[in-house]
């Protein structure tokens, strides 16, 4: 499995990582814990060492599943790179709201460390893409204290905004910006900030939430407990994407690649800074994504 540096941090990460929003179940039709553990084990077996998660993914469940999977295989902590996030708060009715005040960050890191069964986080990311720029210094100061305390090694921001990305790059231990990017969408200016500032560009939505896997047709529909349930594949944006995918299918699937593998390859060709984190629920999905980076 090919590796890359996580920005200027010196940390080596696999060039394809695991995104765990879907296995948390929230907005993704529920979860199967045992199936998720098997999928993580399959990723480890194929050489993937890097995982991106967040407390709000299943309200702690995704972090807990990751910890359980690592524990069962007795993976040494230094052999896996864990990225998680902060900035979202919720209640017992699954209502969520934004909160990145210093005291909340302190509570979140404690909770994440407990759920992940570790004493440090490799990459800690602000999960609020449009957070108030006037409060950035407060967040950076809090994160630097967490670095000093040994609770995190490096940090970043999940934002598509180049101005916000540049503002975070001022932080001494900022090493990554997580942004949405795929064949259909992405902010080239934000990517340019990453390249200029030697930041990793961690890519969420690299498969356009499943469109680029080829599994949808004009007749497809999704259940109401799925974040994509409002998608209309017969008209509108998603219909246009299906049509566009048909036009580029032959290029993406050249040399016996699957559509998903071709879409991931396009990202790596677009920029060496990119580290896609495709989501997954099954062993088969993990194996397909991992194989995109194997010889």
Please, are residues 289 and 16 in contact by the beta-carbon 8 Å criterion?
A: yes
Q: Which of 145, 140, 180, 137 is nearest to 156 (CA)?
A: 140
Rounded Cα–Cα distance for residues 167 and 198 (Å): 14
The DSSP symbol for 135 reads G
Angle between helix 237-252 and 259-270 (nearest 10): 90
Burial class (CB within 10 angstroms; exposed 0-12, middle 13-18, buried 19+) of 145: middle
Q: Name 89's Cβ contacts closer than 8 Å, sequence gap at least 6.
A: 96, 97, 98, 99, 104
The answer to whether residue 155 is catalytic is no
Q: Which residues does the annotation mark as catalytic?
A: 57
């Amino acid at each position: 499995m090919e590796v890359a540096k996580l920005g200027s941090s010196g940390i080596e990460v696999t060039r394809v990582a695991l995104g765990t929003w879907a296995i948390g179940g929230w907005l993704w039709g529920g979860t199967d814990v045992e199936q998720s553990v098997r999928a993580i084990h399959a990723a480890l077996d194929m050489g993937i060492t890097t995982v991106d998660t967040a407390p709000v993914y299943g309200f702690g469940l995704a972090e807990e599943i990751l910890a359980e999977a690592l524990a069962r295989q007795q993976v040494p902590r230094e052999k896996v790179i864990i990225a998680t996030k902060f900035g979202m708060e919720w209640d017992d009715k699954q209502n969520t709201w934004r909160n990145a005040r210093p005291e909340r960050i302190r509570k979140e890191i404690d909770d994440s460390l407990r759920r992940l069964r570790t004493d440090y986080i490799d990459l800690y990311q602000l999960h609020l893409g449009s957070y108030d720029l006037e409060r950035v210094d407060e967040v950076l100061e809090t994160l630097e204290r967490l670095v000093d305390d040994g609770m995190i090694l490096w940090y970043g921001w999940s934002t598509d905004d180049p101005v916000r990305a540049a503002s975070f790059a001022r932080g001494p231990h900022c090493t990554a910006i997580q942004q949405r990017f795929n064949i259909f969408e992405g902010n080239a200016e934000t990517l340019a900030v990453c390249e200029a500032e030697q930041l990793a560009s961690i890519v969420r939505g690299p498969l356009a939430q499943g469109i680029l896997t080829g599994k949808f047709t004009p007749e497809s529909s999704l259940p109401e407990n799925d974040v994509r349930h409002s998608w209309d594949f017969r008209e509108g944006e998603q219909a246009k994407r299906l049509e566009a995918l048909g036009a580029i299918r032959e290029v993406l699937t050249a040399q016996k690649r699957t559509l998903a593998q071709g879409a991931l390859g396009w990202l790596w060709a677009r920029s060496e800074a990119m580290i896609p984190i495709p989501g997954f629920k099954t062993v088969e999905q993990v194996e397909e994504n991992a194989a995109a980076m194997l010889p």
